[in-house]
Structure 1
């Protein structure tokens, strides 16, 4: 292998990842728009009836949210493991800026939501809805802007969203888990021990991980823990083999599984989830309903909480000398990306479905807040980034 290939290959995975996420984000935007059109048309009754049709003991929406989305969480887990062990988050110096930004971008939206819903104990259950960033949607907006945004900011956004996803997974596990059933949970634990042993023994075939992983998913589904968390748990057991000078070894089991699943997740599973969960009949809401605590808390959390938490944390870290500003990025561009982090579509809708019962007015209100906050964040972030110049061309640029 030539030396030039060794230098350039480590970045191929990130380029492929960003390209797939951006394209998937555009498909997701289209699916969400289609859901809104259908839910507010003469087809709305058929739309809802199909989602609640029972197949194999579960409704269609249940299969999507608990079944297909387990594959989404499997890919999320693979991405987190790869980035932490061998990617953009492999060094502590690389984790500080996106890590602190992600934490601030989770905490402040949650506090804003809680402030809006402090008089409503039932509504408080949705405090985590505005905490997550939709990486596909956000990168889809960046794709519309093109090369005006430096690659360092795209990587920063990806890192923030990945850490966001990790925090969201922990939140789901800790705060949105029903009564535990010990026997199925023990079965899931036994399955994970088997996969850990396979990893330890150097098993590189993916079939044992997928077959046992399916059994783990079924056990988790029966245990009271949300079934999608099985995807993250299984991902942690998939081997990541590394070759010196080639951190994106294409023969690694983790690499093969991630790249095999990622297009299906980005272009099929997440859009299906978006189409099945984003449909809100707006005729059931009055202008006063939009200002109710749940939708207002979600929308303000996403639009205000995300941008303030992320941008201020980056500004403080850079000015304190604890981290460096993303290379080639101006402060206005960083602010634009902080706005895009307010797009909380997929994970926010998912947490909303866990917080409030499916089909309830609160769940629809939360969806409305997610749509409003995400759309406003997307439009504002797009406008700022279209007008912004890079840091190299405007070193002293101010907001």
Structure 2
């Protein structure tokens, strides 16, 4: 299906090119994470904490009384909205729309979530409250991983980039399901019913082929507010709202979904995710030695990301190819596939987010989880880059 781009799409594309393409988003994340770590560890820890966790003098939403909550519950709802748009597009008109094409990414993503979770539980244990962190190493950060691939240029075949993107999208869908099912507090019934009514209104707009964007945005904002107050994490509203946005062309000849996606992706990559990273990556290292890194939570998260991701995904690729379930990506060597599997261990954004949900009333455990995420992601990015930088492409097939 060919859908013409709206003027906003062109602006977004040009903005992305101006910012330096795919690699720059990953580089920016590295910079803000490093900056947060430096600020917290050079004597400005109190100021950093007050900036994000100090109570605001005024807030239009009572539940969001700190800058950190506005970033994690409001701005990240926009992040999840864009993720939802990408997932819907891929399912209806992309790599996940064809059963044969989605076999390998779905299998790889499932293994890449299951094995890290098992490694975490083996290290951290299944007792309270440690077991709540099992999903922290299960997520892949698209911006970071694709950013590293972007630094490698044409050394990596296009099929690997597509495979990584598709696995990460399925991974995100799994992470959203995990958040909704396992990290939801007690639901407040009236707010939940109100959210369902608004969701019904959005579905009705879609079914009636209404293409008036302000109507969707008004109901979507109401849906977010109701879910925020219902006990379900507010970011779930972003994904649910995205699934109601029409992909089909309007009478004007453009797609509302594509228009929103292309317009919001640069803001996601260069504003929302970096702000989230800066607000959540600051970990005070004072007093944390090797013994601190060997505590159950940071060790379990780091090993889950670094070993679990590459073992699960690479094993899934090998098994799928060997038994004929789905062939490996064309034009990629086994070493390149291993390197790409290692890169999937970069779990920055979603892992930090799940870490905060896993230990909501134990800030010291959240800090330990952050340390594990940063360590596992750092090691995965270094090793993945080195493997792909040194790997040789498979020889081109000779004509008969």
- TM-score, length of structure 2 as denominator length: 0.91
1:303 and 2:281 matched? no
8 Å contact kept, 2:283–2:371: yes
Could you say which residue in structure 2 is the equivalent of 1:283? 286
Q: What is the 5 A alignment of 1:191-206?
A: 191-206=198-213
Mapped to 2, the partners of 1:343 and 1:258 lie a distance apart of 24
Mapped to 1, the partners of 2:193 and 2:287 lie a distance apart of 44
Q: What is the 5 A alignment of 1:277-356?
A: 277-356=280-359
Instruction: Using the TM superposition, give the Cα deviation of residue 7 of structure 1 relative to its aligned residue in structure 2, in angstroms.
Output: 12
Are residues 119 and 218 of structure 1, via their aligned partners in 2, closer, same or farther at CA, if it must alter by over 3 Å?
closer
Could you say which residue in structure 1 is the equivalent of 2:360? 357
Could you say which residue in structure 2 is the equivalent of 1:76? 83
Are residues 33 and 394 of structure 1, via their aligned partners in 2, closer, same or farther at CA, if it must alter by over 3 Å?
farther
Could you say which residue in structure 2 is the equivalent of 1:132? 139
Unaligned runs of 5+ in 2: none
Residue 390 (structure 1) aligned to one of 363, 376, 393: 393
Could you say which residue in structure 2 is the equivalent of 1:214? 221
Q: Secondary structure at the match of 1:329?
A: coil
Instruction: Using the TM superposition, give the Cα deviation of residue 42 of structure 1 relative to its aligned residue in structure 2, in angstroms.
Output: 2.0
Are residues 7 and 193 of structure 1, via their aligned partners in 2, closer, same or farther at CA, if it must alter by over 3 Å?
closer
8 Å contact kept, 1:113–1:300: yes
Cα deviations across residues 248-307 of structure 1 (Å, max 9, x unaligned)? Answer: x98101000111111101110000000000000111412111001100000000000000
Residue 272 (structure 2) aligned to one of 269, 272, 281: 269
Q: Secondary structure at the match of 2:345?
A: coil
Could you say which residue in structure 2 is the equivalent of 1:33? 34
Residue 104 (structure 2) aligned to one of 97, 102, 115: 97
Mapped to 2, the partners of 1:24 and 1:387 lie a distance apart of 23
Mapped to 1, the partners of 2:313 and 2:330 lie a distance apart of 17
Unaligned runs of 5+ in 1: 1-5, 244-248
Instruction: Using the TM superposition, give the Cα deviation of residue 201 of structure 1 relative to its aligned residue in structure 2, in angstroms.
Output: 1.1
Cα deviations across residues 142-172 of structure 1 (Å, max 9, x unaligned)? Answer: 1111110011100100000000000000000
Mapped to 1, the partners of 2:332 and 2:120 lie a distance apart of 31
Give the stretch that moved more between structures: 66-75 or 42-51: 42-51
- TM-score, length of structure 1 as denominator length: 0.91
Could you say which residue in structure 1 is the equivalent of 2:195? 188
Question: When the two structures are aligned, how many residues end up with a matched partner?
Answer: 383
Instruction: Using the TM superposition, give the Cα deviation of residue 21 of structure 1 relative to its aligned residue in structure 2, in angstroms.
Output: 4.7
Mapped to 1, the partners of 2:335 and 2:115 lie a distance apart of 21
Mapped to 2, the partners of 1:239 and 1:77 lie a distance apart of 12
Moved runs in structure 1, 4+ residues, more than 3 A?
Answer: 6-9, 16-22, 392-395
Could you say which residue in structure 1 is the equivalent of 2:370? 367
Could you say which residue in structure 2 is the equivalent of 1:3? none
Mapped to 1, the partners of 2:30 and 2:213 lie a distance apart of 32
Instruction: Using the TM superposition, give the Cα deviation of residue 211 of structure 1 relative to its aligned residue in structure 2, in angstroms.
Output: 1.2
8 Å contact kept, 1:21–1:266: no
Mapped to 2, the partners of 1:149 and 1:278 lie a distance apart of 29
Aligned-residue Cα RMSD (Å) equals 2.4
Mapped to 2, the partners of 1:230 and 1:328 lie a distance apart of 39
